[in-house]
Amino acid sequence: MTEIRPARAADAPRLTGLLTQLGYPSDPAAVSGRLSALLDSATCQVLVATAGSRLDGCLALERRLTLVEDELAEITAMVVDETARRSGVGRALVRAAEGWAAGEGLHSVVVRSNVVRPESHQFYEGIGYRRKSTSHGYRKEIRG
């Protein structure tokens, strides 16, 4: 039986494995630090899907305030363990995320999904999301 709950600091080691599956291999201490900052943030939420002692998936989202449109919620990370896919875990995580966003008084949830993840496109379309745009991502390392 899957349970969706807010993440706790103690989830960091198991989240590290999930983030590797998402293509973001990380040092457990780094994940622990990031999770701690997210847990302290008033505008972010991290949800996990558990089944007994297993952690089957996670989703991070945040309030996003921009100049160009009304504030909304953005899913910034989402992954279901390879062994638990296609059993409704992802759908349950997104439903809980939508509930959090509604509780925050927000009316839209957005997510950017890389073109290298075709299963996620079918997933979002399958749970009621509609493609709004296709874009390129740019990044530059800067000196502080």
Ligand X SMILES: CC(C)(COP(=O)(O)OP(=O)(O)OC[C@H]1O[C@@H](n2cnc3c(N)ncnc32)[C@H](O)[C@@H]1OP(=O)(O)O)[C@@H](O)C(=O)NCCC(=O)NCCS
Residue from 88, 95, 99, 102 binding ligand X (CB under 6 A): 88
Is 25 among the residues that bind ligand X (CB under 6 A)? no
Q: Are 92 and 100 in contact (CB under 8 A)?
A: no
Q: Are 4 and 45 in contact (CB under 8 A)?
A: no
Q: Quick one: 29 or 54, whose CB is closer to ligand X?
A: 54
Shortest separation between residue 121's beta carbon and ligand X, angstroms: 9
Q: Which helix (H) or strand (E) is 17 found in, with range?
A: helix 12-21
Is 123 among the residues that bind ligand X (CB under 6 A)? yes
With CA atoms as reference, report the closest residue to 89 among 26, 20, 18, 24. Answer: 18
Q: State the residues that interact with ligand X by CB under 6 A.
A: 22, 78-80, 85-91, 111, 113, 117, 119-120, 122-123, 126-127
